[in-house]
A = this chain, B = another copy of it.
Amino acid sequence: MKQKTFSKYSDCPNKRSKSIIGSRWKPIIIYALRKRKIRFGQLHAIVGDISAKVFAKCLKELEADEIIVRETFTDTPGRVEYSLTPKGVALVPIIVSLLQWEWKHYEMNQPS
């Protein structure tokens, strides 16, 4: 049995942020929503080659974690719009920092 004496982190303090930042698609979704509400289909197109299943699951989880909010409209055909909560907005600069870290340390094309 290993000791935990020196570990402040044995209960994984980064697990919430990791489940978002560490996900393949969630940072992209949050970044896409940084300036405006976007509806389901449009957001899907922006995010790119994500499967419908995973896309819907990500949105549900982000909503459950109160990172995004879902608004339904009774228009026809019905639409649903997603936007960031303040908690989600607070992640944007962190995501940007990570992207900047990559741009600095690996030669990559920066988005226009």
Contacts and interface: CB of A to CB of B under 8 A. Distances in A.
Interface of A: 2-10, 12-14, 16-18, 21-24, 27-28, 31, 45-49, 87, 90-91, 93-95, 97-99, 101-102, 104-106, 108, 111-112
A106 B46 contact: no
Contact of A3 (B21, B45, B101): B45
Contacts of A45: 3, 5-7
A7 to B, nearest CB: 3
Contact of A101 (B5, B90, B112): B90
A69 to B, nearest CB: 15
Given A48-B6, A48-B10, A16 B106 contact: yes
A57 to B, nearest CB: 17
